[in-house]
Amino acid sequence: MSADIRAVCFDLDGTLLRDDHVDGVVRAVADELAMRYPGVDAAALAEANENVWWDYWPAVGDAWMRGEVPGDEVPTEVWRRSLAQVGVTDATAATEAFELHTALEGNAFALYPEAMDVLAALRDRGIRTAVITNGPSGLQRSKLMAVDLAEGFDAVLVSGEVGIQKPDAAIFALAVERLGVSPGEALHIGDNQVADVGGARGAGLTAVWIDRNGAALASEPHHVVDDLRGLLPLV
Ligand SMILES: [Mg+2]
């Protein structure tokens, strides 16, 4: 129990929100497109999507995260390139794929089972809460809405809205300012060791790494927890 912590900041994807549905959604989109476009192999299209994403990401990832390009543009372009690799050059196919992806993904958004109880317990203790998430505004806000957390925090910082992304210390500074606490009074929890652990530490917050999958430690968190319940003894 620390009397010093007055606010807890959360990463969203992989921390509060399950991220284990991502591959399944891509495959479901590919399955549907394979039915709509004869001759397309669904497995090949899903694989192309993954490869294109990794190839294309370094050139556009930062701009997408900071809201410098429309949120729909990058994922639509990924589908356009993936479809071209399996021989579909129909101009509307990529838009169709992106819309399908958005719809199927929206149905799959879900919190980790302990999230709501932990948030309620923190609120009961008078702890202020925030989300600090990297991604485009529309997508990240739709996730919060889908899990009934649109109004669930004292502050929400989406990189695509503030034009700064984790691990930049400035986004953590903005979060603590909005929460009305000092960095030393705030804790940030996240699953990404660069964006969350490195970022929070660099900004003077207590950094907690949530390691749901038993990954290798590659950063210097102040604490490591298995799931969100591990936060409660720390505040
Ligand atoms: Mg994450």
Mean pLDDT of 178-201: 98
pLDDT at 3: 58
Q: Range of 173's domain?
A: 7-18+110-234
Residue 58 sits in the same domain as residue 140: no
Q: Is the Cα dihedral 123, 129, 135, 141 positive or negative?
A: positive
Distance from the alpha carbon of residue 86 to the mean position of ligand 1, in angstroms = 31
Residues 6+ apart with CB under 8 A from 116: none
pLDDT at 104 over 60: yes
Domain boundary residue, one of 82, 108, 134: 108
State in Å: Cα 103 to ligand 1 middle: 21
Q: Specify whether 88 is located in the same domain as 136.
A: no
How many whole angstroms from 89 Cα to the centroid of ligand 1? 34
Report if residue 215 sits inside a domain. Answer: yes
Task: Determine the average pLDDT of the residues in 76-95.
Answer: 95
In 86-203, which ranges are continuous DSSP H helix? 93-108, 115-124, 137-146, 159-162, 169-179, 199-202
Distance 22 CA to ligand 1 centre (A): 13
d(CA 225, CA 230): 5
Name 108's Cβ contacts closer than 8 Å, sequence gap at least 6.
21, 24, 25
Instruction: Check if the beta carbon of residue 196 is closer than 8 Å to that of residue 209.
Output: yes
* Per-residue pLDDT reduced to its tens digit, 126-169: 999 999 999 999 999 999 999 999 999 999 999 999 999 999 99
111: helix, coil or strand?
A: strand
Do 28 and 140 have their domain in common?
Answer: no
Q: At what angle do helices 93-108 and 73-85 cross, to 10 degrees?
A: 120
What are the pLDDT digits (tens) for 16-67?
A: 999 888 879 999 999 999 999 999 999 999 999 999 999 999 999 999 999 9
The total number of structural domains in the chain stands at 2
Which pLDDT value is given to residue 69? 94
Res 1 pLDDT > 50: no
Last residue of a domain, one of 108, 138, 161: 108
Are 95 and 141 part of one and the same domain?
A: no
Rg (CA), the chain: 19
Q: Is residue 1 part of a domain?
A: no
Question: Which residue among 56, 77, 108 closes a domain?
Answer: 108
Per-residue CA distances from 104 to 85, 148, 155, 189 (Å): 22, 18, 28, 28
Per the domain annotation, does 38 fall within a domain? yes
Mean pLDDT calculated for residue range 71-89: 95
13 Cα to the center of ligand 1, angstroms:
4
Whether residue 174 lies inside any domain: the answer is: yes
Looking at the structure, do residues 114 and 224 belong to the same domain, yes or no? yes
For residues 213-232, average pLDDT: 97
**Ligand 1 center to 9 CA (angstroms):** 12
Whether 6 shows a pLDDT value over 60: the answer reads yes
